Amino acid sequence: MINPLRRSPLIAKFRAESRMSVGQTDILLASRFGFCLGVRRALVQVGQAWEKHSGPGRLFVLHEIIHNPTVCRWLHAQGLVSLDPSTPRWWADLREQDTVIVSAFGATVEEEAHLADAGVAVVATTCPSVTKVWRQVSIYARDGFTTVLHGRYDHPETQATLSRAEARGGPYVVVKDKAEAEELAQLIARGSGAMPEEKSLSQTTSAGFDPAHDLTRIGLANQTTMLAGESMEVAAILRHAMEIRYGSGHVENHFRTYGTICRATQQRQDAAAALAREQPDLVVVVGGHNSSNTRHLAELIATKGRVMHIEGPDAIESLRRVTYQPAGKNKKAHASIAWLKEHPKRRIGFTAGASTPDAELGETIAKLVWLLEEDLPEIMDDELRLSEKGYRC
Catalytic site positions = 157
**92 burial type by CB count under 10 A (0-12 exposed, 13-18 middle, 19+ buried):** exposed
How far apart are the C-alpha atoms of 147 and 135, rounded to whole Å?
Answer: 12
CB distance 244 to 189 below 8 Å? yes
How far apart are the C-alpha atoms of 363 and 342, rounded to whole Å?
Answer: 23
Q: Which amino acid is at 156?
A: P
The packing angle between helices 128-142 and 156-167, to 10°, is 30
How far apart are the C-alpha atoms of 70 and 356, rounded to whole Å?
Answer: 9
Q: What sign does the CA torsion over 343, 325, 299, 288 have?
A: negative
Beta bridge partners of 99: 59, 121
CB distance 216 to 189 below 8 Å? no
How far apart are the C-alpha atoms of 390 and 375, rounded to whole Å?
Answer: 17
**What are the two backbone dihedrals, phi and then psi, of residue 309, each rounded to the nearest 5 degrees?**
-100, 110
CB distance 173 to 206 below 8 Å? yes
How far apart are the C-alpha atoms of 13 and 22, rounded to whole Å?
Answer: 14
DSSP, res 145:
P
Q: Which amino acid is at 77?
A: A
CB distance 110 to 86 below 8 Å? no
Q: How far is CA 379 from CA 10, 16, 184, 230, in A?
A: 6, 14, 53, 39
How far apart are the C-alpha atoms of 46 and 74, rounded to whole Å?
Answer: 13
